[in-house]
Amino acid sequence: MSYAGTVYRPPSEANSFLLQATIGCSWNHCTYCAMYRDKPFQVRPLAETLEDIATAGRSFGDRVRKVFVMDGDALTMGLELWEPILQSLKDAFPNLRRVSCYATALNLLAKPQEELRRLW
């Protein structure tokens, strides 16, 4: 697995597998947060993200129950990326119970209801 820049993990994700699907934050203008200022936002190539999942699955698949998808606003990714990522996580981690990520309110509100239902 590879991580670009400093890794930030919310305290509630202490025992989670950290998957960096995006780098930086798509908004990156919050006055209270400077965590991602040094990382221009980008979505990692899907193949790299899926390879990280496969590698982690081979190493400790049955021990993973939670996954935190990094970086600052991973929900900004489209369904065409989320669906293969979620399917790969399900396949790699048979005991997976939760996948979470940061999301800006603007990106959450911009997601169509059908897309949010499919992500659920």
Q: Taking CA 77 as the corner, what is the angle to CA 64 and CA 17, rounded to the nearest 5 degrees?
A: 15
Asked whether residue 110 is domain-assigned, the answer is no
Does 120 have pLDDT greater than 90?
no
Q: What is the mean pLDDT of residues 45-73?
A: 96
The CATH number assigned to the domain holding 89 equals 3.30.750.210
Asked whether residue 77 is domain-assigned, the answer is yes
Asked whether residue 98 is domain-assigned, the answer is yes
**Domain tally, the chain:** 1
The model carries a pTM of: 0.93
Chain mean pLDDT for the chain: 93
Asked whether residue 118 is domain-assigned, the answer is no
Asked whether residue 47 is domain-assigned, the answer is yes
Asked whether residue 20 is domain-assigned, the answer is yes
Percentage of the chain beyond pLDDT 70 is 100
- Per-residue pLDDT band for 74 (boundaries 50, 70, 90) equals very high
Asked whether residue 120 is domain-assigned, the answer is no
Q: Which domain holds residue 24?
A: 14-105
> Is-cis flag, bond preceding 73, omega within 30?
no
